[in-house]
Amino acid sequence: MDSNEVRFGRFRLNLGQRALSRDGTLIRLSGRPLDILCVLASARGDVVTKDELMARIWPGQIIEENAIQVQVSTLRKVLDDGKSGQPHVITVPGRGYRLLTLDQNAPADPSGTDNEQRLTIPGTSIAVLPFENMSGDPEQDYFADGIVEDIITGLARIKWFFVIARNSSFIFKGKAVDVKQVGRDLGVRYMLEGSVRKSGNRARITAQLIDAQTGVHIWAERYDRVLDDIFTVQDEITMSVIGAIEPSIRKIEIERVRRKRPDSLDAYDLVLRALPLVHKRMPLDATAAIPLLERALELEPGYAVAHALLAWCFHFRYRRGDLREEDRVASIRHAHEALTDGDDDATTLAIVGIVLWFDEHNIKRAFELFDRALALSSSNVLALSNSALALAWMEKTDAAVERAHRALRISPYDTVAALIALAAAHFHAKRYAEAVEAATRAIESSPNFSISHAYLAAALVRSGRLEEARVTARRVLALDPTMSIRRWSAELGFMQAVFKPFAEALHAAGIPKE
């Protein structure tokens, strides 16, 4: 191939002749769009910053940044051949643009089967578009804009999200948009849009999450609120939206990775494959997740989330497996390594906090991490749930209940951890009926998680319902034949005064001591 020739999709560009063709047919393209295409093509797939484009295309001139966006949009329209459904010019958020070129030694793939492998749009990239003000009063724009800005800020704190900055997404304010086109222009996979209708002292906010590549609606919700305290209402809606978006996108991304070829997985995809196994919180599943996470670290050694999840997996293997000291040591080691690059990620801090609380018995450090996680993202469900469980076992039951309820309010469909924390708090506060109710709800949410059944068995004993407790204990042992008081003691025996009444209740239900 001519060294001056660059291929991308069904297109060929001869840089020397500045000639663009598609399937051998010349395409008329000139002016700034052609200049931009040649600069991007010369980079051979590397990112070209906006500053570099300005210096190359408009040397010595002062122009507005949106001039690039206009010319890139024109270029994309010419290159959109309607075959692959994917853009050839990709916006790399916060950096610039990139042309998706084909390897010079590889034949073109007209079927597009390798397109996903070459696509650089991050899986969890999202843009929050300005919410439409449906009130008919332009002076109410501030309310809608404030909610959107808070959502952008909150999502940006979730480290595995790529969130388009406000200045970029707000250029679409007041415009009718084509979701797919805006997704291509901004280089995102998902978009959140919505509306606000404010009347008197009430407001109705709607929000919908959309797959920007297909236009399919993934999730939608409506919020009706009384505006007694406008800032409290804004915060509540923002937390609710963020709490609902995160698990929705995570679930979709996990399904996407399951459909990918195993040899095309990168570090992020390996973590997504491991997540469903980790969330089962059982030793066999943790053992299956460990090699996936170790591969992720081979590809990206400083991947904080992978270290945190490995810490969790080794904790599950230690606590619910063979009580091997090497597993406990590994959980603590990966927890500390996660903090090297993950001290600004709320989810990482939440996982590390609970591992250090249980396995290192470092209560002070654990709560420093929980507090930092919630300072970074007050809507992080894992930080709320994990810290609630720790608080419950420290007999700070009111604080535990408050955090557990906050977690349930923010994410009503991702509930097991919060409900277990709630069951523990009520048990230690001797509110046994409430403990039974919380544990029962946890079982309904995840029927095969043995820990929920164990909390129910203990609460039933203290409620005087011994026969039901024994039936429940048999179910615990059917789900986890290795369950014993000794295993619970390995995790919680350092809180002996609090642990003893719980252990006695478990044994009365039929859980063996050894």
Per-residue pLDDT of 232-261, as tens digits, reads 777 777 777 777 777 677 666 666 666 655
Residue 124 to residue 129: CA distance in whole angstroms: 16
Ranges in the chain annotated CATH 1.25.40.10:
260-378, 388-514
Residue pair 351/338 in contact (Cβ under 8 Å)? The answer is yes
Q: Which of 63-77, 84-98, 268-282 has the highest mean pLDDT?
A: 268-282
**pLDDT, average across residues 390-408:** 93
- Is 15 or 120 the better-scoring residue by pLDDT? 15
Ranges in the chain annotated CATH 1.10.10.10:
5-118
Residues 6+ apart with CB under 8 A from 463: 432, 433, 436
**pLDDT, average across residues 429-445:** 94
pTM for the complete prediction?
0.61
Residue-wise pLDDT for 259-274, tens only, equals 655 554 677 778 888 8
- In the sheet with 48-49, reading across from the earlier edge strand, the strands are 48-49, 96-99, 89-92
Residue-wise pLDDT for 459-504, tens only, equals 999 999 999 999 999 999 999 888 899 888 887 878 888 999 999 9
- In the sheet with 19-22, reading across from the earlier edge strand, the strands are 5-8, 11-14, 19-22, 25-27
pLDDT exceeds cutoff 80 at 413:
no
- Is 309 or 254 the better-scoring residue by pLDDT? 309
Q: What's the pLDDT score for residue 507?
A: 95
Closest alpha carbon to 234 in 144, 174, 165, 127: 144
Residue-wise pLDDT for 78-90, tens only, equals 776 444 445 678 7
pLDDT exceeds cutoff 80 at 202:
yes
Q: How many CB atoms lie within 10 A of CB 18?
A: 14
Mean pLDDT of the chain: 81
φ, ψ (nearest 5 deg) of residue 97: -130, 160
Residue 453 to residue 233: CA distance in whole angstroms: 37
Q: What's the pLDDT score for residue 256?
A: 64
Residues 6+ apart with CB under 8 A from 314: 286, 290, 327, 328, 330, 331, 334
5-118 architecture in CATH?
Orthogonal Bundle (1.10)
Token representation of residue 492: 């919680």
Residue 381 to residue 23: CA distance in whole angstroms: 51
Q: What's the pLDDT score for residue 103?
A: 39
pLDDT exceeds cutoff 50 at 451:
yes
Strand pairing report for 202-211 and 217-226: antiparallel
- Is 189 or 274 the better-scoring residue by pLDDT? 274
- Is 43 or 482 the better-scoring residue by pLDDT? 482
Q: Which DSSP symbol is given to 253?
A: H
pLDDT confidence tier of residue 150, bands split at 50, 70 and 90? confident
SS3 241: helix
**pLDDT, average across residues 182-209:** 83
Q: What is the CATH number that goes with domain 260-378?
A: 1.25.40.10
Helices (H) and strands (E) in the chain, counts: 22, 13
Closest alpha carbon to 34 in 87, 85, 89: 89
Closest alpha carbon to 124 in 166, 160, 177, 75: 160
Report, in angstroms and rounded to the nearest whole number, the Rg of the chain calculated over CA atoms.
Answer: 27
pLDDT exceeds cutoff 90 at 506:
yes
Q: What's the pLDDT score for residue 253?
A: 67
Residues 6+ apart with CB under 8 A from 213: 85, 86, 180, 183, 189
Residue 385 to residue 390: CA distance in whole angstroms: 9
**pLDDT, average across residues 302-311:** 90
Alpha-carbon separation of residue 82 from 10, 77, 89, 217, 286 (angstroms): 11, 10, 14, 22, 43
Residue 223 to residue 481: CA distance in whole angstroms: 45
Q: How many CB atoms lie within 10 A of CB 441?
A: 19
Closest alpha carbon to 359 in 340, 385, 333: 333
DSSP secondary structure string for all residues of 271-282: HHHHHHHHHT--
CATH superfamily of the domain spanning 388-514: Tetratricopeptide repeat domain (1.25.40.10)
Q: What is the CATH number that goes with domain 125-257?
A: 3.40.50.10610
Q: What's the pLDDT score for residue 106?
A: 34
Residue pair 401/422 in contact (Cβ under 8 Å)? The answer is yes
Residue pair 199/216 in contact (Cβ under 8 Å)? The answer is no
Q: Which DSSP symbol is given to 263?
A: G
**pLDDT, average across residues 509-513:** 94
Which of 113-117, 439-443, 476-480 is predicted least confidently?
A: 113-117
**Residue recorded with tokens 């598609």:** 22
Token representation of residue 169: 């997404």
The sign of the dihedral angle between the CA atoms of 483, 484, 490, 496 is: positive
